[in-house]
Amino acid sequence: MSKVKVLAVAVSIDGFGAGPQQSLEAPLGLGGEKLHEWMFQTRTFRRMFGEAGGSEGIDDQFVKQSFDNIGAWIIGRNMFGPVRGPWPDESWKGWWGDNPPFHAPVFVLTHYPRESLTMAGNTTFHFVTEGIHDALARAKQSAGDKDVRIGGGMATIRQYLLAGLVDEMHLALSPVLLGRGEALWTGIDLDAAGYECTAHVATEKAVHLLISRRRGR
């Protein structure tokens, strides 16, 4: 059965998933790149950007698994890029170059309409102005029997968690304190919502947490 998943999301010890002041020069916010050091050195991540080498241990396994059986993605506009307000033109095509790493339909939450954007590698960005439920319905239709991945950023993940629409999560708790930025857990009671941590494993650079709904919820 198709599931809605949050996968390979890095969070600081104090609960931030990105630093403040996202910009073209700092796409992950100030200091945000420190959250993802567990991922950057893996073989799978390096291959995504045409680079050789990289580690093949537990961290790499989690990166690789985060792409398994994914039929569609949902991301927020801030994850797509730093452009704010009405689209001035269609020149911005994301952070990832001509061949983004999604290789599936990507539904971008935005308040401002824009024509769908087809990229190399079977990635097409669809810009959704009707909210999270419409984006999820369209993503599920596109994914078929495969899963839908909520890719971020934190505000988008929070919306889907608060709406009770996420089935499973993999979080990478990075040994970093950011102090400020994009918080994930504010106002969210995972226990009351019926979630539990089903597994955890530590590596040199992160503690990987698997969270899912309790049976019967």
Give CA 202 to chain center in angstroms.
21
User: Which residue has better confidence, 19 or 49?
Assistant: 19
What does the pLDDT read at residue 216?
Answer: 63
pLDDT by residue (tens digit) across 109-167? 999 999 999 999 999 999 999 999 999 999 999 999 999 999 999 999 999 999 999 99
Sheet strands side by side (includes 70-76)? 117-118, 124-128, 105-109, 70-76, 147-152, 4-12, 168-174, 207-213, 195-202
Nearest residue to 155 (alpha-carbon basis) of 3, 6, 2: 6
14 contacts 179 by C-beta, under 8 angstroms: yes
What does the pLDDT read at residue 48?
Answer: 86
Question: How many angstroms separate the first and last alpha carbons of the chain?
Answer: 16
Nearest residue to 161 (alpha-carbon basis) of 150, 145, 171: 150
74 contacts 166 by C-beta, under 8 angstroms: no
Which stretch of DSSP H or E encloses residue 127? strand 124-128
pLDDT by residue (tens digit) across 65-109? 999 999 999 999 999 999 889 999 999 999 999 999 999 999 999
Q: Under the phi-then-psi rule, with left for phi > 0, alpha for psi from -120 to 50, and beta for the rest, what region is 33? A: alpha
Residue indicated by tokens 């994009």: 182
Phi, psi values for residue 7, rounded to 5° = -135, 145
What does the pLDDT read at residue 92?
Answer: 95
What does the pLDDT read at residue 54?
Answer: 92
Q: Which CATH superfamily is domain 4-83+99-213 in?
A: Dihydrofolate Reductase, subunit A (3.40.430.10)
- Buried/exposed 177-190: b ≥16 CB within 10 Å, e otherwise: ebeebbbbeeeeee
In sequence order, what DSSP letters do the residues of 63-108 get, joined into one string?
A: HHHTTTTEEEEEEEHHHH-S--SS-S-S----SS-SS-S--SEEEE
Say what percent of the chain tops pLDDT 70: 99
- For the chain, the domains span 4-83+99-213
> How sure is the predictor about 214, in pLDDT bands with cuts at 50, 70 and 90?
confident
What does the pLDDT read at residue 103?
Answer: 96
Rg of the chain over Cα atoms, rounded to whole angstroms, equals 17
Taking the C-alpha atoms of residue 170 and residue 162, their distance in angstroms, rounded to an integer, is 17
203 contacts 59 by C-beta, under 8 angstroms: yes
Q: What integer best gives the mean pLDDT of the chain?
A: 94
User: Which residue has better confidence, 12 or 50?
Assistant: 12
Looking at residue 198, the DSSP 8-state letter turns out to be: E
What does the pLDDT read at residue 50?
Answer: 83
What does the pLDDT read at residue 150?
Answer: 98
User: Which residue has better confidence, 216 or 58?
Assistant: 58
183 contacts 21 by C-beta, under 8 angstroms: no
What does the pLDDT read at residue 62?
Answer: 97
Tell whether the model's pLDDT for residue 217 goes beyond 70: no
